[in-house]
Amino acid sequence: MATFSRDIQVHFSDTDPAGIIFYPRYFEMTSGLIEDWFADALGHPFNAMHQGMEHGVPTISLDISFSAASRIADRLRLTLAVERLGKSSITLDITAICGDEERFKMRQVLVYAALGGKVRPKPLPAQLRARMEPFLTTESAKDS
Amino acid sequence: MATFSRDIQVHFSDTDPAGIIFYPRYFEMTSGLIEDWFADALGHPFNAMHQGMEHGVPTISLDISFSAASRIADRLRLTLAVERLGKSSITLDITAICGDEERFKMRQVLVYAALGGKVRPKPLPAQLRARMEPFLTTESAKDS
Amino acid sequence: MATFSRDIQVHFSDTDPAGIIFYPRYFEMTSGLIEDWFADALGHPFNAMHQGMEHGVPTISLDISFSAASRIADRLRLTLAVERLGKSSITLDITAICGDEERFKMRQVLVYAALGGKVRPKPLPAQLRARMEPFLTTESAKDS
Amino acid sequence: MATFSRDIQVHFSDTDPAGIIFYPRYFEMTSGLIEDWFADALGHPFNAMHQGMEHGVPTISLDISFSAASRIADRLRLTLAVERLGKSSITLDITAICGDEERFKMRQVLVYAALGGKVRPKPLPAQLRARMEPFLTTESAKDS
């Protein structure tokens, strides 16, 4: 099983007057992580999907639990794996740690979709699906 | 039962190259909604909580479902109610609509806490709790 | 001479651990101000310009002086006027005050341009130009 | 003469519906560059300045010219040098290139200041000044 990781440093500007990270920043970080995964690991950069094919992977739901606060100068490691591949949907597990302390745990569901006008789910292209499979957390998750 | 609402317009800068709102912007909007609720409806502005009392209401978890995409110039109405009040925790229901179309539905759990050093949950002050009660979605939610 | 104004409240999330506004937030505010001016006062909303006409008004330069720090809960009034209209360029004067205290003063130059591929300046459409003229700070500025 | 650089990739979320970077994102990038320079090259991390000493380096002015648009997946190199050191002020030259194409050129003036209550300029500490001097673009700039 493969995972995809990225290290990010918490900057001054990510934190609020309490010295704690302003949590919407986390979603910018995880959005960047997913984008880099598509470009660097899956060979499907967002801009190619959008421009050439009018497709994208909008998020349809997410849930997140924050375990401990992040502060300025913390170096976070974000890691992504695939929990489940549906016909069109991609369920991701994303975690952030700082050293060995967990900071958050997130499940995020994307859907492969045509974007012109109304968002319409489309079957995941076979090649993209094949490149995602090594990132599945369990074999059983594939049969769906 | 009371609710707290705020209208927000989607700007060009909130949207991505697909013309669809970049969802981390939603969390900035709901964070502002919660902040305004504390200041305008509860009489507990964030800056007073932080500066005078070293307390705050960090988010410990949230889950959100996106029902339809928002686009430039959409005018969203965000509405907040309280689903449950625990000893220290506050569970919020937040929805966004555009006209009569739902855009997202979120449940967000905050915890009243001391912020110096490690985040430590503290009992909700009686006055703050009393001011939140009118926003409870059901009477039954109070007994916890 | 007309001006275009908008009131914006500084939120917790706009400020850094020093309790002072994180200045990049100002540019999101002024970007929104300019966008609202195009949509509400000039009748040329950004989305129509982009989608129908493949035109836009990218910024080519700006300079800003910060006079005093903004803090949480400050209510800022942003005001825009036009200093000069060139063939393709629009020079804006933007100021922010809180009560009667100036917070910043900015000059920002936009250029009307075709956006497909490389950005190419185009003459300001006559109607758009005519609608901008009432916002000119001096009559003399028109002859350029 | 030393310079301080950092490579940053333009993400999907940094760009607007025209596919061009939303310029306020540049200021988040340069803010991070300055913060990293203080922490990594000068040995004066922002959090130590703020927490221990109640000092900071707020920006008092900046001017920027954009030479060419940045787009998704562009890899930018941001480079900082010091143009001038005043008693309290630090004038920075910051440039961004992509390959050998210039994207922007910025001059930004910071002031070393006490931050409690009103921002009050203070003389640059001798050690901090000494560590900045190698980054001066010209020898002559020192005598001020």
Residue A139 has pLDDT above 80, yes or no: no
Give the residue among C106, A34, C111, C35 at the shortest CA–CA distance from B14.
C35
Residue A141 has pLDDT above 60, yes or no: no
Mean pLDDT over the full length of chain D? 91
Residue D141 has pLDDT above 60, yes or no: no
Residues C66 and C23 sit within 8 Å (Cβ to Cβ): yes
How near does any CA of chain C get to the CA of B74, in Å? 11
CA B133, B138, B139, B141 dihedral sign is negative
Per-residue confidence at C88, pLDDT binned at 50, 70, 90?
Answer: very high
Give the residue among B56, B59, B57 at the shortest CA–CA distance from B106.
B59
ipTM of the predicted structure? Answer: 0.90
Q: What is the pLDDT of residues D76-129, one digit of tens each?
A: 999 999 999 999 999 999 999 999 999 999 999 999 999 877 789 999 999 999
Average pLDDT over residues A46-71: 87
Average pLDDT over residues A120-137: 96
How crowded is the C-beta side of B113, counted as CA atoms within 13 Å? 20
Structure confidence at residue B144 (pLDDT): 47
Per-residue confidence at C18, pLDDT binned at 50, 70, 90?
Answer: confident
Average pLDDT over residues C93-108: 97
Region of poorest pLDDT, from A18-27, A71-80, C31-40, C84-93: A18-27
Structure confidence at residue A1 (pLDDT): 83
Residues C17 and D24 sit within 8 Å (Cβ to Cβ): no
Nearest-CB residue to A28 (from D13, D19, D35): D13
Structure confidence at residue B139 (pLDDT): 55
Nearest-CB residue to B23 (from A27, A69, A115): A27
Residue contact A12–D28, C-beta within 8 A: no
Average pLDDT over residues D52-74: 90
Residue contact A16–C19, C-beta within 8 A: no
Structure confidence at residue C144 (pLDDT): 47
Using CB atoms within 10 A of its CB, is residue B137 exposed (0-12), middle (13-18) or buried (19+)? middle
Per-residue confidence at A66, pLDDT binned at 50, 70, 90?
Answer: very high
User: Residue B40 and residue B29: Cα distance in Å, rounded?
Assistant: 16
Residue C130 has pLDDT above 50, yes or no: yes
Mean pLDDT over the full length of chain C? 91
Give the residue among C89, C96, C94 at the shortest CA–CA distance from C137.
C94
For chain B, which chains pass the contact test of at least 3 CB pairs under 8 Å?
A, C, D
Secondary structure element (H or E) that encloses residue C46, with its range: helix C46-53
Chain A residues within an 8 Å CB radius of C13: 16, 22, 24
Chain D residues within an 8 Å CB radius of A11: 31-32, 35
The single-letter DSSP state of residue C115 is -
Q: What is the pLDDT of residues C25-66, one digit of tens each?
A: 999 999 999 999 999 999 999 888 876 558 899 999 999 999
Q: Is pTM, for the whole model, over 0.80?
A: yes
Structure confidence at residue D119 (pLDDT): 81
Structure confidence at residue C55 (pLDDT): 87
Nearest CA in chain D to C17: D50
Q: What is the pLDDT along chain B (144 residues), one digit of tens a residue?
A: 899 999 999 998 888 877 789 999 999 999 999 999 999 999 999 888 876 558 899 999 999 999 999 998 899 999 999 999 999 999 999 999 999 999 999 999 999 999 877 789 999 999 999 999 999 997 555 554
Nearest-CB residue to D61 (from C22, C59, C65): C65
User: Residue B56 and residue B118: Cα distance in Å, rounded?
Assistant: 12
Cβ neighbours for C95, distance < 8 A, ≥ 6 positions apart: C78, C79, C102, C104, C105, C106
Exposure string over A88-100, b if 16+ CB within 10 A, otherwise e: bbbbbbbbbbeee
Angle of helix D24-36 relative to helix C24-36, nearest 10 degrees, comes to 180
Residue contact C63–D64, C-beta within 8 A: yes
Average pLDDT over residues A26-32: 95
Residue A44 CB neighbours (<10 A):
19
Residues B108 and B94 sit within 8 Å (Cβ to Cβ): yes
Residues D34 and D110 sit within 8 Å (Cβ to Cβ): yes
